[in-house]
Amino acid sequence: MQVQVNTDKNIEGGERLTHYVKTAIDTRLHRFGAQITRVEAHLSDESSHKSQGDGKKCVLEARAAGLQPVAVTHFAATLDQAINGAAEKLERLLDSTFGQLNNPKGLPASD
């Protein structure tokens, strides 16, 4: 799975941040294996001019083989919380997406 990290002008990117994002995503999504071809992370500080609030934003967009891309957004007080929150949301969304594909409505679930 390829991971691409993008930041806005208010967040200083770098190898350390990229490694943190890749680790957070891989920890949550490793079980999907080859089903996910690419994940793009878009990090921004929506409240760079304010001193408080949930201004850090992480948008994760996953590209699954043969499917349309799916995306989630998470706002938090810190960048770490935003990244981990978005990774958790993306994991749940992919669970649901792949679960529906593997068990279409009206068919019994396989044991």
Tens-digit pLDDT profile for residues 38-76: 999 999 998 766 656 678 999 999 999 888 999 999 999
Overall domain count for the chain: 1
Q: What is the pLDDT of residue 49?
A: 65
For residue range 9-21, list pLDDT tens digits in order.
989 889 999 999 9
For residue 109, being part of any structural domain is answered with no
For residue 111, being part of any structural domain is answered with no
For residue 110, being part of any structural domain is answered with no
For residue 50, being part of any structural domain is answered with yes
For residue 53, being part of any structural domain is answered with yes
For residue 45, being part of any structural domain is answered with yes
How far is Cα 32 from Cα 16, in angstroms, rounded to an integer?
25
For position 82, which CATH number holds? 3.30.160.100
Of residues 110 and 73, more confidently modeled = 73
Domain that holds residue 78: 2-102
**Whole-number percent of the chain with pLDDT over 90:** 67
Is the pLDDT at 110 greater than 60? The verdict is no
Any idea what DSSP says for residue 35? G
User: Taking all residues of the chain, what is their mean pLDDT, rounded to a whole number?
Assistant: 88
Neighbouring C-beta atoms of residue 102, cutoff 10 Å:
10
For residue 22, being part of any structural domain is answered with yes
Of residues 62 and 98, more confidently modeled = 62
* Residue 107, C-beta contacts closer than 8 angstroms, at least 6 positions apart: none
For residue 29, being part of any structural domain is answered with yes
